[in-house]
Amino acid sequence: MRVAVVDVGTNSTRLLVAEIDADGRVEELYRESQVTRLGAGVDATGTLADQSISRVFATLDEYRRRIDELAPSDAIAVLTSAVRDASNGAAFLEQVRDRYGLDARTIDGDEEAQLTFIGATSQRPRDDQTNLLVVDIGGGSTELVLGRGHEMRFHVSTQSGVVRQTERHLHSDPPQHDELVDLADEVRAIITAAVPKAELAAAEAGIAVAGTATACAAIALELEPYDPDRVEGYVLDQATFELLLARLADMTVAARRDVVGLHPDRAPTIVAGVVILLEVIQAFGLNRITVSEHDILRGGGLRRAGVV
């Protein structure tokens, strides 16, 4: 089955077109990500701004043309944190359906976590009994999922994300030390409140998906241009994250745009992303984490194809 999946997130809008067979094997035909910042200002105003909506629609115009070229049998869209939180989210969803002919729906944090776990573990052996943490840092929320093999046993969607925490805390350019401390303190408190101590102690290994993790891997590898094959499976340790944070937080946004491996559009939010990822691995007692390209897009495709 050929399926197209669009993920309309708080910070980026992404597309995957893939062939998925009955055994769950995935052949990616096309993948693209654009930073569209749909959630800009939502934490403060509670609404999606017209300018943000226009950026998403411009990207969806391009994606619709690509989908038509590849002619999948099904085309779906999942809308996440910013749309969930916004008072005009339902109206935006209807526009996405009507304008682009996508089977679009807003998913809650639980389903977002489920699809992320499905995607991240899709290539792992089903009998793998490692207690695995999957981390998906988005623009408005971070999904934390624990499980073994392909089975989840705990998941939570937390109100911490790169756009939300940047807007709340990082008002200087470059950010001040006390701003970084306040950001880290808030994220730590969110994780502590959301995850029982027994679950924090249970993780034996971790997989990080989405833009923060893949950007960190690309910076560490000095990738220019971006190479998903080299990013997939790359291992980052706590010391590397700490060095990345020190380096990036000492730069202005303009200077970060020139960092090799970092997409310029991620420069405003990457510092918050690294802080969140550091707080997650420390909270779960992990000193390293594996980066994966396999995320909610793949999970959504596998579920739509009926193989999970």
pLDDT, tens only, 148-181:
887 888 999 898 999 999 999 999 999 999 999 9
Beta strand 132-137 with 205-209: parallel, antiparallel or unpaired?
parallel
How high does pLDDT run on average in the chain? Answer: 94
CATH 3.30.420.150 residue window(s) in the chain: 121-292
> What pLDDT is recorded for position 149?
81
Res. 308: pLDDT tops 80: no
> What pLDDT is recorded for position 128?
80
Res. 126: pLDDT tops 80: no
Confidence band of 216 (pLDDT split at 50, 70, 90): very high
Q: Is 100 exposed, middle or buried (0-12, 13-18, 19+ CB in 10 A)?
A: middle
> What pLDDT is recorded for position 101?
95
Res. 125: pLDDT tops 80: no
Q: How many whole angstroms separate alpha carbon 131 and alpha carbon 19? A: 30
What's 121-292's CATH class?
A: alpha beta
pLDDT greater at residue 278 or residue 149: 278
> What pLDDT is recorded for position 160?
93
Q: Looking at domain 2-110, which CATH architecture does it have? A: 2-Layer Sandwich (3.30)
Q: How many whole angstroms separate alpha carbon 170 and alpha carbon 269? A: 9
Stretch 3-29: mean pLDDT, rounded? Answer: 93
> What pLDDT is recorded for position 288?
94
Res. 112: pLDDT tops 90: no
pLDDT, tens digit (0-9, with 9 covering 90-100), for 42-94? 888 999 999 999 999 999 999 999 999 999 999 999 998 889 989 999 999 99
> What pLDDT is recorded for position 127?
76
Tell me the CA distances in angstroms from 25 to 71, 72, 107, 130, 308, one per residue in order.
Answer: 19, 16, 25, 22, 11
Nearest alpha carbon to residue 297 among 31, 1, 11:
31
Res. 113: pLDDT tops 90: no
Res. 194: pLDDT tops 80: yes
> What pLDDT is recorded for position 109?
81
CATH 3.30.420.40 residue window(s) in the chain: 2-110
Stretch 30-42: mean pLDDT, rounded? Answer: 92
> What pLDDT is recorded for position 31?
93
Nearest alpha carbon to residue 284 among 166, 162, 163, 202:
202
> What pLDDT is recorded for position 189?
97
CA 298 to chain centre: 12
Q: Which of 32-36, 60-64, 147-151, 262-266 has the lowest mean pLDDT?
A: 147-151
